[in-house]
Every structure is written in C-alpha cells, then in structure tokens.
Structure 1
Amino acid sequence: MGLIKKALPALLVVFIAIQFIQPAHNKSGQVLPTDFLKIYVVPNNVQTILQNACYDCHSNNTHYPWYSDIQPVAWMMASHVIKGKEELNFSDFGSYSSRRQISKLKGIANQINDDEMPISSYKMMHKNARLSKEQKDLVMDWMQKTADSLSANN
C-alpha cells in the first residue's frame, strides 16, 4: 500500500511532464496538384469513403480529434501517420510512377478486402471509417477498374 502511495504522485508528475512533449502535426493545409483526388476523377461516394477512412493516415492533412494532444496517444497517432504515409501518401500519389500507382491501387483493394485497412484502432475511434460491405465493394471495384485501365494504357 505504501508503494502505491509513493508511486502515484510520481506517475502523475511524469504524466503531466510528458504533455509538454508534443509531436508535430501532419497538417499542410493545402491540397497538392499530385493529390489522388486531383489526378483521378473519383466518384463522390468513393471520394467520401477515402477521405473518411484513409486520408488521416495516408495524406499530408490529418484531422486531429480532441484527444490527439494527450500523451502518449499523440505519439501513437504520429507514429501511425508516419508509417501510413511511408506506405501510401494520397497527397503525393501523382508523383508515383505508373507502375507504382497500379501496384498501390491493387494494394488498396486487397487490403480493404482482407480487412487490414483501415486498422482496427482507427475504426474504434472513427465510426465513419467502419466500412459496410457495400462501401468496401465500391472502393475495391473502383480501385481495381482504375488499376486495370492504367495497365491497359501502359
């Protein structure tokens, strides 16, 4: 019991101290000419799904919820965004080679099909990212058709 009474104030001090160590926010405030939605004619329903379920971690403009400034949550979110953008960045999609774009389009369809994306922790906190079967099918079909069209042109 004495150990808990001594440890609790120390943990509180550490918790308060780490609040001052904030990661940089992923918010450029602009839509680049290389943005996925600028280089492809994406139907509104697919566009809405991508913006709600993908763009926070896979673009240069993350929308941050209220809890994103609380540590250690902010560090975890920053890590997810960095890793997400390393794999796929919709803001830079137009700068990818045609071959890479085709690969990414097919990969998006496959990861949605395999329920790997959006990740579970994101879906838990963002109800708009919980895709119905119809939404998944819509995005997967559009991605595959676009990949096929690009492949035919190359």
Structure 2
Amino acid sequence: MIFGRLAWIAGVACIAAAVAVQLVPVERTNPPSLGTLAAPPEIEATLKRACYDCHSSATRWPWYSHVAPVSWLVVRDVNLGRKEVNFSAWGRYYPVTRRRKLEWIGRALRDGKMPPWNYRLMHPDARLTAADQAALEQWVEAALATPSTERSK
C-alpha cells in the first residue's frame, strides 16, 4: 500500500518536473547573414541541405528543438557549429581564416565526421552520397588551391 502511494507521488513529481523544465528559456536565433559563401550552385545546394542547419544563420529549428531537455542539446550543437564554421559569415572571414575553415571542412569530410551521425539520424536528407562527398571535397581542394586576397564578396 505504501509502495503504491510512493510510486504515485514519484510519478506525479516526474511529470511536474518534465512540465517545469519546459519553462526554462532557450535562445534559438537566426542572426542576419554577414556575407555569404560564393560557391557553385550544386555545392551551395548540398551545403544548404547537409550543413546549414548548424553552420549558418539559416537554421531550420525542428519541433524537438522546442522540447527540453533536447532543446538544450540542439541549441548547444548549433552554437558550436556556428563557432567552428559559419557559412553566413563567410564573406567576413579573413583569407587566412577561410583557409583554416576550408581545411577543417576537408578533414571533417574525409574523416566522415560531417554531418554527424546523430544529425543524419533525424535528417535523412542531410546524408551525403558518394557523389556529394566527392564534389564537396573537390570544391574544398579547388578553393584551397586558389589564392584569395578579397575580404568579402
């Protein structure tokens, strides 16, 4: 009898905690673009499909990004992604910074780290085909081989 009452109280407490945690605010923003990436249309389309949700200011916030505690993880991942490479700020990067970021992109593609498995799980359209990956790697190599002194486009 006492066990049943304790289980009921614990259940109510868990539900109350789950509801209360939804009240914790999470900042989901899409700041304005600060100069975009100049890439061929097919590369741009692949990047938008597979990368922009975390690596640009054009994030599409899915329904689960509004449900705590998952929302906290999504916002953290987007903020980390934008910090590493932000295609919406590409035109503002100095050439040396662009080069470093292109090298990072190339490494992440070769190592199969981007897009991450947990993102691909929820976004099957973000999966890169062998052709997508080859095109992105060729684009990175070509961009690294082209000296650029312009600061923005």
Query: Could you tell me the TM-score, scaled by structure 2's length?
Result: 0.87
Which of residues 12, 22, 25 in structure 1 aligns to 2:25?
22
Q: Report the Cα distance in structure 1 between the residues aligned to 2:10 and 2:117, rounded to whole angstroms.
A: 33
Structure 1, gaps ≥5 residues long: none
Q: Is 1:51 aligned to residue 48 of structure 2?
A: yes
Alignment of 1:5-20 (within 5 A): 5-20=8-23
Which of residues 75, 86, 89 in structure 2 aligns to 1:89?
86
**Secondary structure of the residue that 1:56 maps to in structure 2?**
helix
Q: Report the Cα distance in structure 1 between the residues aligned to 2:149 and 2:129, rounded to whole angstroms.
A: 30
Alignment of 1:129-140 (within 5 A): 129-140=126-137
Alignment partner, residue 70 of structure 2: 73
Structure 1 runs (4+) greater than 6 angstroms displaced? none
Q: Report the Cα distance in structure 1 between the residues aligned to 2:149 and 2:89, rounded to whole angstroms.
A: 23
Shift of residue 101, structure 1, vs aligned partner? 0.6
Q: Say whether the 8 Å CA contact 2:55–2:78 is kept in structure 1.
A: yes
Percent sequence identity over aligned pairs: 31
Structure 2, gaps ≥5 residues long: none
Alignment partner, residue 95 of structure 2: 98
Q: Report the Cα distance in structure 1 between the residues aligned to 2:94 and 2:33, rounded to whole angstroms.
A: 20
Output the amino acid matched with 2:10.
A
Q: Say whether the 8 Å CA contact 1:59–1:91 is kept in structure 2.
A: yes
Shift of residue 113, structure 1, vs aligned partner? 1.2
Deviation readout 1:79-108 (Å, 9 max, x if unpaired): 001111111111111221111111211221
Shift of residue 24, structure 1, vs aligned partner? 1.3
Alignment partner, residue 107 of structure 1: 104
Output the amino acid matched with 1:35.
T
Q: Say whether the 8 Å CA contact 1:57–1:84 is kept in structure 2.
A: yes
Shift of residue 151, structure 1, vs aligned partner? 6.4
**Distance of aligned partners of 1:35 and 1:152 in 2 relative to their CA distance in 1, 3 Å threshold:** closer
Q: How many residues align?
A: 147
